[in-house]
Amino acid sequence: MPERLLRVCALYPDLMNIYADRGNLLLLERRCHWRGINFELSASGLGDELDPDAADLYYLGGGQDRDQRLCALDLAETKQAALHAVAARGGLILAVCGGYQLLGHSYQLGDEELPGIGLIDAVTVRSDGPRLIGNVAIEVELDAGRRRVLAGFENHGGRTHLGRSAQPLGRVLRGYGNNGRDGLEGARAGNVIGTYLHGPLLPKNAWFADWLLATALAASEGLDPLADALEDAAHADARRAAGV
């Protein structure tokens, strides 16, 4: 069998990494390693140009409003066109919380409006109301007819509202999701996926890591199974914490 390789590019790994979102990258690396799939990790920070063909998966974690501001401006200035090119060729983009907010059109913080890159038809508004914090579980249908659960933890002041042309990633089973009102969580536009779920997300939902991996590698025959007793326990625990 030819050598397989997953190339991941982490955007602003030093600035956009709260709740150990970097653990998502570690999990991908481990699951590749255990299957004999090569793994290559690159980073793109403030001011760096982005090559839209240099990775199979582009990853953006969560961040505080202050760090998000720096990244929002940089995304708009130096990376927006490249990320649109990634999406147009069907490349994977995964963004969590603060990163997810920046995939929309804008993030309104009081009088200030941070630009988003418009990959998802959504706007986010920072509310004066309480932060939306807690364990969360959502139901997703990434493959038609196959409903599964993602479980994690959310903590955000911003409320995201999807526009008419946006699809949610899933339906809230427990927790707040995009805005605590409409029962929707995250967004998906083809292989561009945004979610509020930290945890980190992938160690609590190894099945989703494998979905990303299989999609990135176009492995229609699926991936070799792994001994997932610990991962299954982590998933069950996250669901239990959310009450699902």
> Where along the sequence are the contacts to ligand GLN (CB under 6 A)?
18, 62-65, 68, 97-98, 155-158
Give the residue at shortest CB distance from ligand GLN.
62
Structure tokens at 108: 């309104």
Considering the complex, state which of residue 16 and residue 212 has its C-beta at the smaller distance from ligand GLN: 16
Considering the complex, state which of residue 52 and residue 186 has its C-beta at the smaller distance from ligand GLN: 186
Instruction: With CA atoms as reference, report the closest residue to 45 among 20, 74, 82.
Output: 74
* Closest approach of ligand GLN to the CB of residue 145, in Å: 32
Q: Are 62 and 18 in contact (CB under 8 A)?
A: yes
Distance, CA of 157 to CA of 27 (rounded, Å): 27
* Closest approach of ligand GLN to the CB of residue 133, in Å: 9
Active site residue 105: no
Longest Cα–Cα distance of the chain, Å, equals: 56
Cα torsion angle, 51, 23, 214, 187, sign: negative
- Parallel, antiparallel, or unpaired: how do β-strands 5-11 and 187-189 relate? unpaired
Structure tokens at 174: 């427990």
Considering the complex, state which of residue 6 and residue 242 has its C-beta at the smaller distance from ligand GLN: 242
Active site residue 97: yes
Among 97, 156, 161, 235, which one carries the catalytic annotation? 97
* Closest approach of ligand GLN to the CB of residue 63, in Å: 5
Considering the complex, state which of residue 12 and residue 211 has its C-beta at the smaller distance from ligand GLN: 12
* Closest approach of ligand GLN to the CB of residue 182, in Å: 17
Structure tokens at 230: 């610990």
Q: Residues with catalytic annotation?
A: 97, 198
